[in-house]
A = this chain, B = another copy of it.
């Protein structure tokens, strides 16, 4: 008789909860729109209610506990969530203790990127690799570091912030205050804005652009997925933009692999669903930049678990 665990993926828009078997399979799933603007107590009751719903029809076996992936910095003891971005009125909140008061047993919170990295390490693209850099390439750029199959936390739990590595000391100012952060070049929101700007500056090309057509003619509706689709249709500008983005991401990843002494990058997040030529551009860029000792071994892998990595990784924390 196997065991299972409950995994919660706490996001700014959705609270996703699932029952996860030891095999990594999701046996049941339940989602709620997150009350991210109502403070930690409101989110806590959403989490408790989702757990309650899942426990109405428990699978056969023993429940190993409850794991939660949350945005922001999570204390090293797996209890407190600090200033999660996109959640208001939060400050610091001892989330695991609060959940354990309602459901006694093992409860552990982890940063959401780290949880997803752990899922890829145990069940996904990182299964064959003890050590890798996990990259979340979506609206922003985040990450997690897996060493010897375990999450590497750094000194206080915040390690893996690869989005805020500067790739140009005189580059554009990022939200974080730094100049030239890789996120401000290749994060989805910046990629969309830069493409819109580019098209606005070249009205003739714009008129024939597959990017614009696929966005219904509205530059505000350009998304990385639209650009990628246009590239697949043969749109040269779209291909150039996505290849350049892959190449720029590779600049930061090469520095990260150098300093961490890693050979493998597993790329997840929305933009990782881009066509293979984008991931090839990432790999080529890393290969041309990383230290010679790494060059023959460098791998860029697409994450395998998609947006279930959060739930699976959260459950993995207690399994």
Contacts and interface: CB of A to CB of B under 8 A. Distances in A.
A177 to B, nearest CB: 7
Contact of A177 (B145, B155, B248, B292): B292
Interface in A251-270: 251, 254-256, 258-263
A159 to B, nearest CB: 4
Contact of A258 (B153, B161, B263): B161
Interface residues of A, number: 43
**From DSSP, what is the main secondary structure of chain A's interface residues?**
loop
Given A166-B251, A293-B73, A261 B155 contact: yes
B165 A258 contact: yes
A255 B164 contact: yes
Interface stretch (A96-104, A200-208, A232-240, A283-291): A283-291
B260 A154 contact: yes
Contacts of A263: 155
Nearest to A153: B261
A168 interface: yes
Which of A130, A178, A261 has its CB near the most chain B CB atoms (within 10 A)?
A: A261
